[in-house]
Amino acid sequence: MKPVLVVLGRGEVPYDTPVLHANDLGVVRGDGVFETLNVRGGRPWLLDEHLARMARSAQRLELPLPSRDELVQLAEQACASWPADVEGALRLVCTRGRETGGPVTCYATLNPISPQILRMRREGIRILTASLGFAAEARKAAPWLLGGAKSLSYAVNMASQRWAANQGYDDVLWVSADGYALEGPTSTLVWLSGDELCTVPTDTGILAGTTARFLLDHAAERGWRAAERMVRPAELETTDGAWLVSSARGIAAIREIDGRKLPESPHDAALRSLAGFPN
Ligand code: PLP
- 171-198 pLDDT per residue, tens: 999 999 999 999 999 999 999 999 999 9
d(CA 161, CA 185): 7
Decide whether any atom of ligand 1 lies within 6 Å of the 49 Cβ.
Answer: no
Measured from the Cα of 212, ligand 1's closest atom is: 14
Task: Say if CB 232 and CB 179 are below 8 A apart.
Answer: yes
Residue 100 Cα to ligand 1 middle (Å): 31
Decide whether any atom of ligand 1 lies within 6 Å of the 199 Cβ.
Answer: no
pLDDT at position 278 over 80: no
Measured from the Cα of 183, ligand 1's closest atom is: 1
Decide whether any atom of ligand 1 lies within 6 Å of the 265 Cβ.
Answer: no
Task: Say if CB 253 and CB 243 are below 8 A apart.
Answer: yes
Decide whether any atom of ligand 1 lies within 6 Å of the 207 Cβ.
Answer: yes
**pLDDT of amino acid 279:** 72
- pLDDT (average), residues 7-13: 97
**pLDDT of amino acid 257:** 98
Per-residue confidence band for 135, with pLDDT thresholds at 50, 70 and 90 = very high
- Per-chain mean pLDDT for the chain: 97
- Strand, coil or helix: 174: strand
- Strand, coil or helix: 217: helix
Strands 4-7, 11-13: pairing kind: antiparallel
Decide whether any atom of ligand 1 lies within 6 Å of the 95 Cβ.
Answer: no
The letter for the amino acid at 194 is G
Question: Which secondary structure element, helix H or strand E, spans residue 260, and what is its range?
Answer: strand 260-261
